[in-house]
Amino acid sequence: MENILERFLRYVAIDTQSDDRCECQPSTAKQFDLQKLLQAELQAMGISAEVDEYGYLMAAIPSNTDKKVDSIGFIAHVDTSPDCSGKDVKPQIVENYNGEDIVLNAERNIILSVDKFPELKQYHGKTIITTDGTTLLGADDKAGVAAIMYAVEYLQSNPNIKHGDIKIAFTPDEEVGRGTEHFDVEKFGAKYAYTIDGGEIGELEYENFNAASADITIVGEGIHPGYAKDKMINALSVAIEIDNSLPKKERPQHTEGYEGFYHLVELSGETENVTMKYIIRDHDMVAFEARKKTMQQVVDNLNTIYGGNRIKLTIKDSYYNMKEKVEPHYHIVEKAIKAMQQCGVEAKVKPIRGGTDGATLSYKGLPCPNIFAGGHNFHGKYEYLPLESMQKASEVILAIIQLFIEENNNKN
């Protein structure tokens, strides 16, 4: 079998950055480059694999047992974040890590600092894969892709290992929130699935934010500032009022755990016209709805003050907390915990302060918790991946497959 590191390095060498400004899917044609490579690799293993017009790769490994076993799927996304370049990634391999700072780029004085990232210390003696300080690494989620592909190759190389139907999917555009827009759950054919898209070793998530976007347009009145008294309505000032009217401690930089927030992600314009974009997040549905209502009340109050309908607000729900859809099938979470224990990994069950493809898939009828792929510091130049964590992710996949077989044997 090929070394999992070799796989990962081959995948991150392909630029698959998605583009949130493009409404097409996939949002960038270059995502097909990796999908076609993965398709060829799967076919070389004797596995049927298809890439469709939307950039989804789906593959299937047929059951090799005559017993009835639930079909399970494993999913990862191929795109990398628009937040940081994914072109010409030059990974650095730090073997037998000594627990000290890692110089990513001496020329630019870019340091992966233990003081800033103290979780590095837990990987003393491990092999750390880092960036060169000029791009992201792509462990989100090419570590997940590599872990799945390594597990698939292991199954194909060991046909004596019994398993039910195994489904594989690699999705585009997860980073721009459209990873499941055209995902055909019925075609995929799994009863349950796991996304391999979490962070550090042991992460297991089946709760995520309820999410919405809020787009605001403000129309002001531009008057020469020398003659503006009682006439000018400065749209920029109104935008500041809107932001100041929202709870100041309910912003990302002041929240953690289950705490929700309002996050201003874009502000542009001039005196007469301004646009604002927010994201709204909360794990609790009641609190989530209250946040949207608060945003509407702020806009309504300012429209009353400034007259007319100068401020327009459009709120659009993005995804919901998958807990509601996964908990009725909690045995799939229990299997993931047990699989980690069998692989010597402590399961760290916690809510996602974000979302995954698994959230929307769960609402499409495919219960889908999220499992670690091993990386840290996603979406930027400080991203790194302990090699052993990615290897453990692959082991956990194989252990989950065996637990589904064991469940069937116990029933019979």
User: What pLDDT is stored for residue 171 in this prediction?
Assistant: 98
CATH number (domain holding residue 310): 3.30.70.360
Does residue 107 have an active-site annotation? no
Among the candidates 304, 319, 334, a domain finishes at 319
Same domain, 182 and 51: yes
Catalytic residue (choose from 15, 41, 140, 174): 174
Among the candidates 319, 352, 380, a domain finishes at 319
The dihedral through the CA atoms of 108, 114, 115, 117 has a sign that is: positive
Q: Do residues 18 and 175 lie in contact, with contact meaning Cβ atoms separated by under 8 Å?
A: yes
Angstrom distance (rounded) from CA 295 to CA 306: 17
CA 233 to chain centre: 41
Same domain, 18 and 146: yes
User: What pLDDT is stored for residue 177 in this prediction?
Assistant: 86
Range of the domain at 220: 210-319
Same domain, 325 and 190: yes
Largest Cα–Cα separation, the chain: 86
**Residues 52, 53, 55, CA angle at the centre, nearest 5°?**
70
The DSSP annotation for 18-41 comes to --TT--SSSSSTTHHHHHHHHHHH
Helices (H) and strands (E) in the chain, counts: 10, 17
* SS3 of residue 174 by DSSP: helix
User: What pLDDT is stored for residue 408 in this prediction?
Assistant: 64
Same domain, 297 and 352: no
Q: Do residues 130 and 162 lie in contact, with contact meaning Cβ atoms separated by under 8 Å?
A: no
Q: Decide the pairing of beta strands 102-105 and 92-94.
A: unpaired
Please report which residue ranges of 171-273 form alpha helices under DSSP H: 185-188, 235-245
Which among 264, 258, 230, 260 has a CA at the least distance from the CA of 244? 264
Per residue of the chain (412 residues), give pLDDT as tens: 689 999 999 999 999 999 988 989 999 999 999 999 999 999 999 999 999 999 999 999 999 999 999 999 999 999 999 999 999 999 999 999 999 999 999 999 999 999 999 999 999 999 999 999 999 999 999 999 999 999 999 999 999 999 999 999 999 999 998 999 999 999 999 999 999 999 999 999 999 999 999 999 999 999 999 999 999 999 999 999 999 999 999 999 999 999 999 999 999 999 999 999 999 999 999 999 999 999 999 999 999 999 889 999 999 998 899 999 999 999 999 999 999 999 999 999 999 888 889 999 999 999 999 999 999 999 999 999 999 999 999 999 999 999 999 876 666 5
Angstrom distance (rounded) from CA 131 to CA 119: 17
Same domain, 100 and 215: no
Same domain, 256 and 191: no
Catalytic residue (choose from 41, 79, 203, 207): 79
* SS3 of residue 221 by DSSP: strand
φ/ψ (deg, to 5) at 2 = -75, 145
H or E segment and range at residue 346 = none
User: What pLDDT is stored for residue 2 in this prediction?
Assistant: 81
Among the candidates 319, 354, 369, a domain finishes at 319
Q: Do residues 246 and 294 lie in contact, with contact meaning Cβ atoms separated by under 8 Å?
A: yes
Q: Do residues 336 and 396 lie in contact, with contact meaning Cβ atoms separated by under 8 Å?
A: yes
User: What pLDDT is stored for residue 354 in this prediction?
Assistant: 82
Domain count within the chain:
2
Is 0.75 surpassed by the pTM of this model?
yes
User: What pLDDT is stored for residue 356 in this prediction?
Assistant: 82
Distance between first and last Cα of the chain: 34
User: What pLDDT is stored for residue 241 in this prediction?
Assistant: 98
User: What pLDDT is stored for residue 216 in this prediction?
Assistant: 98
Does residue 174 have an active-site annotation? yes
CATH number (domain holding residue 170): 3.40.630.10
